[in-house]
Structures are given as C-alpha cells and as structure tokens.
Amino acid sequence: MLRFWRTRWNKSPARKVGEIDNRGSHFYLALYWAQALAAQTADKRIADRFTKIAKDLSDNEKKIDGELLAAQGKPQDVGGYYHPDDAKAAKAMRPSATLNAIIDAIA
C-alpha cells in the first residue's frame, strides 16, 4: 500500500533531502482531511468551519511545500536528544510560516 501511495501521489516521506519528509506528509494529511470535512454533508457546521481551512491549505500548497522542503538538509538544534527544548523543537518541526498561520488561526 505504501508503495502505491508513494508512486501514485508521492506524498509519503522519503529518505532523501529535497523530497517530502514527515512534516510534508503531515501537511498533506491535514489538507486531505480538511477537504474531506469541508465536502461532507452530515454536519453543516463542520463543513462551514473547514471550508476556509481547506481553501487556504489548497491555495498555498506549493508555497507550504517549498517552505517545508527548504528546511531540509541543515542540522537542527533542538536542545537535546532525550530532553529537547520545546521552543527549539517547535521551530524545527514547524518551519512553514504559511502553514503555521493557517493552523494558528483555527480557534
């Protein structure tokens, strides 16, 4: 199944720099969930709430993908392996200002 996902949509994590990593695959998971929640008809309130989120994620897909890929290949200081610093780890794991703004706007 993973091979099918990777060859068909190329959205699963790869091991090479310059290809999608866990951060990118999580972005696509969030995008697809937001689109599905916006498209569902069982709960109009949920659909209304996720319509803007899905649109913002879709409209900024290339920009977010570029920001996530640009963060690869450089050493990251997270303040320690076993006890990382929360602020440093968040900075390393959330390198896309565009994606962060969309997520942070969800209240």
CB 100 within 8 A of CB 86: no
76 or 19: which leads in pLDDT: 76
Mean pLDDT, range 66-76, rounded to an integer: 90
Mean pLDDT of the chain: 88
CB 24 within 8 A of CB 68: yes
CA distance 84 to 59: 33
What is the 8-class DSSP label of residue 79? S
Instruction: Return the structure tokens found at 50.
Output: 């996720």
Could you give the 3-state DSSP secondary structure of residue 80?
Answer: coil
pTM for this entry:
0.81
CA distance 45 to 47: 5
**74: pLDDT confidence band, cut at 50, 70 and 90?**
confident
Could you give the 3-state DSSP secondary structure of residue 93?
Answer: helix
